[in-house]
Amino acid sequence: MPTIREWSAMGKIHSIVSWDEAVMHTETRPVTDFGSELQQLAANMFATMNAADGVGLAGPQIAVDLAIFVYNCPDEHDRFQYGVLCNPIIELPAGADRNFDASLEGCLSWPGAYQLLSRPDRAICRAQDEQGNPVVVHGTGLLARCLQHETDHLNGTVFADRLSNRSRRKLNAERESKRHLYPADWPIHPKGREANE
């Protein structure tokens, strides 16, 4: 597998789709062709994610309705893991094994806004890599949250769908106050700066 640097060097940065777009609320199609076009898509997604300083990016976020996401994210021990996951199935602990972590969560498709969201602190993701090989990722810490967040995107769910009405209003107000920092083709064009910076 290429390194993160190699993935990004092979890719082209795309603009990131906003939650306002229909593709962000529609279930994706399964990946069935693991050829060169998929490899290029994965490279483009890595390049875009890195340009936006993200830890994960799903196909719909660059207007591709395929069940694929890329990630480069630390686990609970601050060890970064990265990869390409196609057709993921998420497994979450149940019963006494299920512990929740309430942390701030944000999204590259609603940039600049964060809200507390409780999610299980562990997750297992069973998927296929960019070659179609089976892969299993055990997520802890931020990686567990990332796996859940990105899999949600592939099912047409944004994290605001998991918030209370009050938290969603606060999230949207924060997003609106930061909207001027993010050009329509962000991160092709970099984020702007506050006037007082």
The answer to whether residue 130 is catalytic is: no
Cβ–Cβ < 8 Å for 107, 145:
no
Cβ–Cβ < 8 Å for 118, 100:
yes
DSSP string of 73-115?
EE-TTS-EEEEEEEEEEEE---GGG--EEEEEE--TTSTT--E
Which CA distances in Å does 165 have to 108, 120, 145, 170, 176?
A: 21, 21, 21, 9, 16
Catalytic residue among 27, 37, 105, 150: 150
* CA atoms of 46 and 159, how far apart (whole Å): 21
Active-site annotation, residues: 150
